[in-house]
Structure 1
Amino acid sequence: MFRTALRNVLAHKARLLMTVLAVMLGVAFVSGTLVFTNTLSGALENSSAKGFDQVDVAVQPKAQKARADEVAKRPELTDALLKRAASVDGAASATGVVTGFTALADKDGELIGEGFDSQGGNYWGAQDPRYPLTSGTAPKGADEIALDAETAKRAGYRVGDTVRLSVDGPVLTPKVTGIFTTNDGNVAAGGSLTLFDTATAQKLFGKTGTYDEIDVKAAAGVSQTALKSALDKALPTDKVETTTRDQLAADQAEVISASMSGLKQGLLVFAGIALFVGTFIIANTFTMLVAQRTKELALLRAVGASRRQVTRSVLIEAFVVGLVAGVSGLVAGIGIGAGLRALLGMTGAILPDGPLVVSSGTIASALAVGVVITMLAAWLPGRRAAKIPPVAAMSSVHAQATTRSLVVRNTLGSLVSAAGAGTVLAATTMQGTEARTAMGIGAVLLIIGVFILTPLLSRPLIAAAGPLMRGFGISGKLARQNSVRNPRRTAATASALMIGLTLITGMTVIAGSLQKAIEKMASDSIRADYVVSMANGNALSLDVERKLKETPGVEATSPLRNAPSRIDGDTEYLTGVTGAVIGDLVGPKVEEGRFEVGGTNVVVDKSTAGLHDWKPGSVFTVHYEDGKDQKLTVSGIYEGNDFLRGILLDTATLAPHQSDATDMQVMVKTAGGTSAAVKDGLEKALGDNPGIKVQSKKDISNEIAQFFTLLLNLLYGLLAMAVIVAVLGVVNTLAMSVFERSQEIGMLRAIGLDRRGIKRMVRLESLVISLFGGVLGIGLGIFFGWAAGELMKSGLRTYELVLPWDRIALFLALAGVVGMLAALWPARRAARLNMLGAIKSE
């Protein structure tokens, strides 16, 4: 039986090629998704990684607990602490580390490393072992910097060039004195690193005389643990904490893993989808394959083979096919993963750099899908064929699916679909993690239920296309009948396309609705013409608002200035604004009282007021960061949102209690409204700063839209593979269907249907099946998009369902194109069949 199985594999080369192709496509889909997701995940992990070659023990500020009437202050790592750490027994050296945001412009004035952290730091002494110089010298003074080699190469900078950069607002124009190498993962992933001398870095980052961290290197023969013990004895452990290099690396790995878990889970969903779609194609192919060989298998039974031997021969064939297809699919998948990353880059998606990652898990998954899934897919049809009596099989009297089996399938499908739809609807009334979990479970159940019901649904939906098909004459009528002749095959063929379009449509509906909600929120909340902020969300220098006030055409400005405080024993952040004009610059919905800010009068968002049980007229005591207290009165309560929330008070009231004030944003109203000329004037007033964004309400919405566009491009790229697999799955199904119906096609030719009619029949059959899958997918996608939107309404008041009919029509047209393309080769093959040879075929 083993030799028979191998001969069967090799005897039908065309059939073997079609089967291997189907399995290879499923494997390539899975492995391509895994390669792409692992590559993206690895690059993002690398961007967060930091090397610890030059540190054995790190000294960091210790988190402090504050009294109910105090604001917790971060202990400072001073020069005195640095000297004490360096003089500890067992310490070879100690390095003070200072870091902060540094926006570096390229030669065209654009921010380098857009989409990633643009970092700055300090170069320690004349030779910093952390950053080996490849050319030039260490920076000295405020007018000199050193650049990492990757950034210098990308921007075309060399030693001696003058660059433009910004830390918190004002534009600086230092000279590049050195180029260095670094193992900083942020640089490897497309970011930039700019180094100043220590004194300059401390001044620019607002840390004069202090450090963010002190890295201590152990002397020869001294262990990390021994050095840590010595430091713990010498330093005030109530203010600082020490961590060994090994623990730093472990903590970093844990933080990166936690930060990447959401992304990995999301990307693994697509790998699961890949497996799901690939399994459909493989199972469908083997079902047809075994059906074609029913007589052959029956003959083996007739000459003495047992049912178990027949089933085993099918499984051996599946193993050989799965192994060959698994290896070739893995290779193809690696190419797909690499191509997908390049394709997304061409669409404008900003992705981190990094090597292509082909993990052992990807290889194991590819081979598992190729071998295990193929054997599982072949087992059921092989077992079913082995159970058919030999005489009945050779006489072609064996039955298709029984009425009872169809009733069982339809009942099961109805129950699973109802459970899925019910769970999704119930999830829309829940909140938090519970709601998302229920939504995910319900979606999976509903998709599986619809898949089980697809044979039942195919008849009425395809019958609805009957009037259109009549316009194509006898070819259209035959195509409609062929597409419902074997509902299970039609279902399996259409399901791959259905799943892809369900996800594409659902995500498009959600993204469009969110974008509309954010645009409405911006227009309702912001009356200012422009909002000025740092490119990375960091704080702005107070010089920014001063320069904007002095700009011709500016009528009013107000900062949004954050400050920590303690209220009723809890930490609350205050937002300082210019009380006299804030009402002209923002327009939140006032729930109670009046929107009045000035003196000791403040306005509070509804959520914060609810936590403290405040009403208009309520008086509360605030404990500022300088230790002083003040009584404030609530004049009004407004509805907060992502643009404006918290306690708003006048900057004149807040400023005396701040030692180092900075603004998060500055809102600007101009006499000329919004225009390209006005925006250009504001940017020029700020020195065309690469680190500062000047945005209108439309710009803010567009920026958020770019985020959604990136996500959609990522999803479209991943799901494009599902569509490609669906296309080739339809090709495979039609080709095997043509092979099965060779005799029938020969008879049609003999009674007068010409080659053009045969081609039209096969093409229309493919078109109908593809549109059937498209209609199901789009319908499910709209339902899931609506359900997900119901979850978001509680946290986004302006959310409303938006159905992008233009894109939905495009998706349906895409399904039709898929069907037409998939039919090209099978239709040509059917039309070229020899009439007499086809009639004589069995």
Structure 2
Amino acid sequence: MFRTALRNVLAHKARLLMTVLAVMLGVAFVSGTLVFTSTISDALQNTARKGFDNVDVAIQRGGSDRADGAPGARPALDQKLLETATHLPGAASVTGTVSGFTAIADKHGTMIGDGFSTLGGNYSPGPNGTDARYPMRSGAAPKGPHEIALDVHTADRGGYKVGDTVRISVDGPVREQKLTGVFTTDDARVGAGGSLALFDTATAQKLFAAPGRFDEIDIKAAPGTSQAALKDAVEKVLPQGTEATTGRQLADEQAKMIAQSMDGMKTGLLGFAAIALFVGIFIIANTFTMLVAQRTKELALLRAVGASRRQITRSVLTEAFVVGAVAAVTGLLAGIGIGAALRSLMNATGAKVPDGPLVISPSTILIALVVGVVVTVLAAWLPGRRAAKIPPVAAMNSVHATATTKSLVVRNIIGALFAGAGTAAVLVATGMSDGKVTMGAGAALLLIGVFVLTPLLSRPLIALASPVLRLFGISGTLARQNAVRNPRRTAATASALMIGLTLITGLTVIAGSVQQGIDKMATSALKADYVVSMATRSPLSPDVAKKLAAVDGVTASSPLRNSPSRIGADTEYLTGVNGKDFGRLTQLDFTEGALGTLDGDRAVVDASLAKYKGWHVGSRLPVTFEDGKKGTLTIGGIYQGNQVIRGIILDNGTLAPHQKHATDMQVMVKTAHGATPEAKDSLVKALGKNPAITVADKKDVSNAIAQTFTLMLNMVYGLLAMAVIVAVLGVINTLAMSVFERSQEIGMLRAIGLDRRGIKRMVRLESLVISLFGGVLGIGLGVFLGWAAGELVSGALPTYELVMPWGRMAVFLAVAALVGVLAALWPARRAAKLNMLQAIKAE
């Protein structure tokens, strides 16, 4: 039986080719994802560990004092502590480090680096006059407030050489620095595409901390001193609120963070790979079902000469194992190539990836092989069981008995139960506060139920196309009859496409609706013409608000400033604004009280926080400010908060005296003539054409939101395209095997006068009808699930409203039609080339 199974694989290799391709694509996606994420993670972790080569123990601020944002004095890492650490036994060298956001503009004024990896730090020379962390490639270290050094990658991207003037921004205002040196670094963030600028220590402290203060103190152990022994010595001199960590712990923590950050990408990509494999299951099951049906006489003869049912099942599963093994091996090899190509693509697009070997772990190989084989064997198990049930007497009949009415009734009942339960679960979830799990389970049940019911649905839905198909004469009539002749086969073929389009449509509905909801929320609450902020959402210097307020044509402006405080036993953030102008810049919906004039101890609070705390208009709140001083705030109004404006709002005149280092998150600006190109240009010029600062009007805010969702959708479309490609392979496979199965019938049609063009048209129309059937089901399910998911989202986003993407749905339906047309090209050509006499004689 084993030899028979192998001969069957070789005899039907052309028919099994599409099955191999479908499994291969899924396995390639899985292995490519694992190779790519392992390679990137390994390279980043190795680079991160190198960055701690000169750190055996690090003194940092502890996690107890201000981790929750509570007010009070921060523990100080100052020069005195650094000098104390220098004289510790076992300490070879001690370095105080300071770091913070630093935007660097290239010669065209564009910011170099990638968002939060756009960093600045201090060059701290040791006794030999160099900083071991940053070997100089050319030039010298910065030594004054107007000098700077850049990492070699940033200098190359910006086109800078030693002696050039570099425009930078730390907290808003533009600074011009002289480039004195170019250095190399093992910093993983720079290796991943970020940028690093170095200042002398005094300048860095002034920019990022405070004079004489450090963010961290790094200690290098003397030869013969272990990290643990040095840590014990350091802990004896630590002030309250600080802690000591070994370099090995820091490296391990950073490596763990890198691995966790890659887990999200890996999970997402593997999710789409799972979808592709799930779609592939339909193709595999369909292929083996058709092979079993075509070999009815052969399998019946095997039964007649003594083969048991178990042997027949094993024979089919052996074929599936061979197909799965071939597909898994080729998929693994293709996946390794995909992983290498993705790394090269990232480097080509500017997302710098540290150098390192391509990581192909044993687990990747094992997972790829197991996935390919197990998926194929499981999908072929049901056809294998059906093959075992073929009675020996079928060897004397030309065609084995078709499915009984009882089996179809049982199938329809099961499908109806699944679909009903899934629909009910989804509808119940829409009314729950946290119904994600219920909705996910309901969506899965609904998809399974519709799949089981697809044979029942195929006849009435395909019948709707009859008037159109009649326009194509006998070819159209035959195409409709062929499409419904075997409902189970049609259902399995259409279901692969249905699943892909369900996901695509559902995500499109959700994304478009959420985008409009956020857009409406962001713009309806603002009367300001412009919102000015750092490109990376890092804090702005108060000088920015002062410069904007002084611009000609600015009629009102207000910075938004956050400060931690303690109210009762809880930590709350206060938002400081320009109380005089705030009402002219925002449009808040007050449920109790009014905005009025914000000054003194008067504050307004968003409704959700007020409800949670039990506050009302007139409530007096005892508050401990950021500097530890106490005061009282009186609630003058309660408003409906949103993602843009929420929390406790008071006048900056009340808040500022309690802040040592005031920074703004953004500045709202209103101009005399509204949002005009001239007004925006004047604001940009007033800020020195700073590449780190964005001046956004309402349209810019909307476009930024749209761009985010468009990017997300495009990524999803690209990944789900894999499922559609697999679905195309399924349609091709089904049609090709159907043509083979109907060779005699096609020969008869040719003999009685249907020409080759008519045969091609018949096969193409059959393919088109099946694909459109799957497309209509997928789009319908996608709209329903998208609506249901939106009902969940609307609880957290009050401005959410359902947006039906009619244009995109028309495109999706057109894609389904295109899938049908393309998938039919080869089978139609093959059908038209059949020799009518040989086909008539074929069994």
Assess same fold via TM > 0.5.
yes
Contact persistence 2:430–2:792 (CA under 8 A): yes
Structure 1 residues 70 and 144: alpha-carbon distance in aligned structure 2, compared to 1, 3 A threshold: closer
Structure-2 separation of matches of 1:46 and 1:476: 63
Q: Which residue of 1 aligns with 2:427?
A: 425
Q: Contact between 2:138 and 2:181, CA under 8 Å: does it hold in 1?
A: yes
Q: For the residues of structure 1 that align with 2:418 and 2:343, how far apart are their CA atoms?
A: 37
Structure 1 vs Structure 2 CA RMSD? 2.6
Q: Kindly provide the CA deviation profile for residues 768-817 of structure 1, in whole angstroms up to 9, marking residues without a partner as x.
A: 11111111111111111111111111211111111111111111111111
Deviation at 1:101, TM superposition (A): 0.5
Contact conserved, 2:41 with 2:258, CA < 8 A, in 1? no
Q: Which residue of 2 aligns with 1:310?
A: 312
CA distance in 2, matches of 1:791, 1:47: 42
SS of match in other structure, 2:288: helix
Following TM superposition, by how much is the alpha carbon of 1:18 offset from its aligned partner in structure 2, in angstroms?
Answer: 4.3
| Matched ranges for 1:475-486 at <5 A | 475-486=475-486
The answer to whether 1:512 aligns with 2:512 is: yes
- Structure 2 partner of 1:366: 368
Residues of 1 paired with 2:260 and 2:25: CA distance? 33
Paired position in structure 2 for 1:288: 290
The letter for the 1-side match of 2:133 is: R
User: C-alpha separation between the residues in 1 aligned to 2:40 and 2:283?
Assistant: 27
- Alpha-carbon distance, 1:353 to partner: 4.1
The one-letter amino acid paired with 1:564 is P
Q: Note the C-alpha offset of 1:175.
A: 2.4
Kept after mapping to 1: 8 A contact 2:296/2:395: yes
Which residue of 2 is the match for residue 57 of structure 1? 57
Which residue does 1:523 correspond to in 2?
A: 523
Partner of 1:789: 790
Q: 1:23 to 1:72 in 2, by over 3 A?
A: same
- CA–CA distance in structure 2, aligned partners of residues 769 and 485 of structure 1: 12
Q: CA–CA distance in 2 between the matches of 1:42 and 1:675? A: 49
Tell me the distance in 2 between the aligned counterparts of 1:122 and 1:415.
Answer: 67
TM-score, normalised to structure 1, is 0.94
Residue of structure 2 equivalent to 1:163 = 166
Q: 1:180 aligns with which of 178, 183, 202?
A: 183
Structure-2 change in CA distance of 1:791 and 1:514 (3 Å):
same
Separation of aligned partners in 2, 1:83 and 1:586: 51
Q: Separation in 2 of the partners of 1:581 and 1:50?
A: 51
Matched, 1:98 2:98: yes
1:384 aligns with 2:386: yes
Q: CA, structure 1 residues 376+271, in 2 after alignment: closer, same or farther (shift >3 Å)?
A: same
Which amino acid in the other structure matches residue 838 of structure 2? G
Residues 362-371 or 352-361, more deviating: 352-361
Secondary structure of 1:227's partner? helix
User: Cα gap change, 1:47/1:456 in structure 2, threshold over 3 Å: closer, same or farther?
Assistant: farther
Which residue of 1 is the match for residue 677 of structure 2? 676
1:646 is aligned to 647
Give the partner amino acid of 1:243.
T
Query: Residues of 2 paired with 1:814 and 1:626: CA distance?
Result: 62
When the two structures are aligned, how many residues end up with a matched partner?
837
Is the counterpart of residue 489 in structure 1 residue 492 in structure 2?
Answer: no
After TM superposition, list the pairs within 5 Å mapping 1:68-107 onto structure 2: 71-107=71-107
CA distance in 1, matches of 2:40, 2:805: 29
Superposed, 1:32-47 pairs within 5 Å as 32=32
- Per-residue Cα deviation, 1:550-571 (whole angstroms, up to 9, x for no partner): 2111111111111222212322
Contact 2:140 2:181 in 1 (8 A): yes
Provide closer, same or farther for how the CA distance between residues 507 and 686 of structure 1 changes in structure 2, counting only shifts above 3 A: same
Give the Cα–Cα distance (whole angstroms) in 1 for the partners of residues 230 and 449 of structure 2.
Answer: 62
Quote the offset at 1:72 in angstroms.
3.1
Shift of 1:257: 4.9
Contact 1:148 1:192 in 2 (8 A): yes
- Per the alignment, residue 273 of structure 1 pairs with 275
Are 1:122 and 2:122 counterparts?
yes
Q: Which moved more, 1:736-745 or 1:2-11?
A: 2-11
User: What stretches of structure 2 of length at least 5 have no aligned partner?
Assistant: none
Residue 408 of structure 1 corresponds to: 410
Does residue 222 (structure 1) correspond to residue 214 (structure 2)? The answer is: no
Distance 1:623 1:12, change over 3 A: closer
Q: Distance in 2 between matches of 1:473 and 1:46?
A: 68
What is the CA distance between 1:369 and its match in structure 2? Answer: 3.0
CA distance in 1, matches of 2:447, 2:46: 36
Kindly provide the CA deviation profile for residues 620-648 of structure 1, in whole angstroms up to 9, marking residues without a partner as x: 22222233322322111111111111111
Alpha-carbon distance, 1:441 to partner: 1.6
Secondary structure of the corresponding residue to residue 199 of structure 2: strand
Task: Say whether 1:472 aligns with 2:503.
Answer: no
Give the counterpart letter for 2:371 in structure 1: V
Distance 1:39 1:269, change over 3 A: farther
Query: Distance in 2 between the 1:43 and 1:363 partners?
Result: 20
In the TM superposition, 1:224-243 aligns within 5 A as: 224-236=227-239, 238-243=240-245
Q: Give the deviation of 1:65 after TM superposition.
A: 4.9
Q: Alpha carbons of 1:438 and 1:42: their partners in 2 closer, same or farther (altered >3 Å)?
A: farther
Aligned to 2:152: 149
Which residue of structure 2 lines up, in the alignment, with residue 319 of structure 1?
321
Letter in 1 for 2:167: R
CA apart distance, 1:15: 3.0
SS in 1 for 2:137: strand
Segment of structure 1 superposing worse, 416-425 or 31-40 = 31-40
Residue identity opposite 1:378 in structure 2: A
Residue 701 of structure 2 corresponds to 700
Range with bigger deviation, 694-703 or 62-71: 62-71
Q: 1:829 Cα shift?
A: 0.7
1:365 deviation in Å? 3.0
Local SS of the residue matching 2:627? coil
Q: Give the counterpart of 1:201 among 199, 204, 208.
A: 204
Percent pairwise identity: 68
Whole-angstrom distance in 2 between the partners of 1:407 and 1:258 = 49
Could you say if the C-alpha distance between residues 150 and 208 of structure 1 is closer, same or farther in structure 2, counting changes exceeding 3 Å? same
Aligned match of 2:8: 8
Residue aligning to 1:499: 499
| Amino acid in the other structure paired with 2:380 | A
Displacement of 1:337 in angstroms is: 5.8
| In structure 1, distance between residues paired with 2:614 and 2:19 | 69
User: Residues of 2 paired with 1:39 and 1:793: CA distance?
Assistant: 40
Provide TM-score, normalisation by structure 2. Answer: 0.94
Structure 1 stretch displaced more, 782-791 or 13-22: 13-22
User: For structure 1, which segment, 474-483 or 435-444, has the greater mean C-alpha deviation from structure 2 after superposition?
Assistant: 435-444
Query: Shift of residue 824 of structure 1?
Result: 0.8
Q: Is the 8 A contact 1:600 1:632 kept in 2?
A: yes
Work out the CA distance in 2 between the residues paired with 1:396 and 1:450. 33
The offset of 1:671, in angstroms, is 1.3
CA distance in 2, matches of 1:92, 1:69: 35
Find the counterpart in structure 1 of residue 710 from structure 2. Answer: 709
Q: Matches of 2:347 and 2:403 in 1, distance apart?
A: 48
Q: Following TM superposition, by how much is the alpha carbon of 1:723 offset from its aligned partner in structure 2, in angstroms? A: 1.1
Shift of 1:519: 1.7
What's the CA shift for 1:96? 0.9
Instruction: Kindly provide the CA deviation profile for residues 503-530 of structure 1, in whole angstroms up to 9, marking residues without a partner as x.
Output: 1111111111111111211221110000
CA distance in 2, matches of 1:159, 1:739: 73
